[in-house]
Structure 1
Amino acid sequence: MIQQEIHYRLTKILFGLVVPLCFVTLLARADTPQERLTKAGQAFQELVNASNGIPRKLLNKADCVVVLPAVKKAGFIVGGQYGKGVMSCRSGATFNGKWSAPVMMQSSGGSFGLQAGGEATDFVILVMNGDGARTVLKGEAKLGADTSIAAGPVGRDAEASTSEVLSAEMLSYSRSKGVFGGVSLAGTSLGPDTGDNEKLYGKKMSGQEIFSEGVKAPASAEALLSELHRASPTKVAK
């Protein structure tokens, strides 16, 4: 009887672990890379243009921008999140040129705590220096470990003020149900999505190759890149 009870409880825990993660993974994979680029452009536009959104002063200092539209999160007891998105960096060895062709990205992470149901959140991450950019372009990076990340200050005229924000390699923002804010994504893994980059460009390419080889951006990236150029046409020295 005791063994049956233990087995039942273990099965329940495993079900709570596996099902949410499978659920969010399937949801995140539903979009094509082209559709995701469109959604990324919309999410970035809304986050950067909101009066309490991403500060332009910080955007102008950023080397790269990562947009993860509609990251899915679901769980019961143990929750997980899985998202796909896009990254564009300022071209050139010192990240001070025009915004580059997009690199398709993927993120994953888990969270513990009592929770149920699902939600979708848009995330924008500002990569504030070349070391952070190169780490992410190389492969999957653990935010908070391989690169430092902090919740970014909000508001068009806000500036980095605390020592944590000033020293962070990345600043992260979110929008859920119309509410904007800075949010810490420490513990999340982030890196290029090899499969989606191949689908988008027609051949296997690493994140570094897409960035450094001057690849032509696809038509589906036009809205996102236009918004990046409009919002921050030139980089401001830190």
Structure 2
Amino acid sequence: MKLLKTIPLLLAMLLAFSTLTLAEDTAEEIDNDSNEALMVFYKEVNGGKKFLDNAKGYVVFPDVKEAGFFVGGKYGEGALRVNGETSGYYSITSASMGFQMGAQQYSLIIAFTTDQALKIFMRDDDWETELDLNIALAEYNAEEEADDVDFGSNMVGFVFDSEGMMGNFSFEGTRFERITPDID
């Protein structure tokens, strides 16, 4: 019983002292942060630039924050790029319950390797990974070129530039939603 009273208190403290902010950045800030994240991606992932150049489109989430203590969540904002140009802005959110503890921050790119996958992503204002499409988390040898690997999916997620410790990464229960950030 004491544990049941302690968990809400700890959750409230986590939220109160968290650096996790849910305020939307401006379109210019999202684009600039996305460009910086792409530069890091190109340096960290062999063949990453060529892989994205061959993709039908990709969404860049330059600063996803995730935290949890039995109850957890993640949030980030990003830019959808088609033919190298921004064609929309999206948020990524997720909530989870279970044994988890920690916090991390990372960049995420989801590449759409087929026109159909890109159309499904762009079709609705929001969707969840289990309901619409499954995203393959890129696993490859650091010496391999990303553009030479068959990831076996028409949507491939790359997690990079990670800080902190959360224990695992999952797209399960992840929701993507179209947002309209301020112009300035």
TM-score by length of 1: 0.61
| Contact persistence 2:109–2:157 (CA under 8 A) | yes
Contact 1:21 1:81 survives alignment (8 Å): no
Q: Which stretch shifts more, 52-61 or 75-84?
A: 52-61
Aligned to 1:38: 32
Counterpart position of 1:115: 101
Quote the Cα distance in structure 2 between the aligned partners of 1:65 and 1:145: 20
Partner Cα separation in structure 1 for residue 62 and residue 10 of structure 2:
25
Whether contact under 8 Å (1:17, 1:78) holds in the other structure is yes
Give yes or no for the alignment of 1:86 onto 2:79. yes
> Which structure shows the bigger proportion of residues in strand conformation?
2
| d(CA) in 1 for partners of 2:56, 2:37 | 19
* Secondary structure of the corresponding residue to residue 114 of structure 1: strand
Structure 1: gaps spanning 5 or more residues: 91-98, 201-219, 221-238
Q: Can you give the 5+ residue segments of structure 2 that lack an aligned partner in the other structure?
A: none
Q: Structure 1 residues 129 and 46, CA, compared in 2 at 3 Å: closer, same or farther? A: same
Which one-letter code corresponds to 1:104 in the other structure?
Answer: Y
Report deviation, 1:14.
4.0
Looking at structure 1, the residues matched to 178 and 19 of structure 2 have their Cα atoms a distance apart, in angstroms, of 16
Number of aligned residues: 174
Which consecutive aligned stretches of 4+ in structure 1 deviate over 6 angstroms post-superposition? 21-25
8 Å Cα contact 2:79/2:86 also seen in 1:
no
> Residue 13 of structure 1: CA displacement?
3.5
- TM-superposed CA distance for 1:64, in Å, is 0.9
Aligned to 2:65: 72
Q: Write out per-residue CA displacement over residues 53-85 of structure 1, whole angstroms, 9 at most, x where no aligned residue.
A: 563453233111111111111121221111111
Asked which structure has the greater CA Rg, the reply is 1
Q: Percent identity?
A: 24
What letter matches 2:120 in structure 1? T
TM-score, normalised with respect to structure 2: 0.76
The match for 1:160 among 149, 152, 159 is: 149
| Pairing 1:183-222 to 2, within 5 Å after superposition | 184-194=170-180, 196=181, 199-200=182-183
> In the TM superposition, what is the alpha-carbon distance from 1:151 to its structure 2 partner?
1.2
Which structure 2 residues correspond to residues 169-184 of structure 1 after superposition, within 5 A?
A: 169-175=154-160, 176-177=162-163, 184=170
* Distance in 1, Cα, partners of 2:14 & 2:80: 26
| Contact in 2 for aligned 1:172/1:185 (Cα 8 Å) | no
CA RMSD of aligned residues (A): 3.0
- Residues 124 and 19 of structure 1, relative CA distance in 2, 3 Å threshold: farther
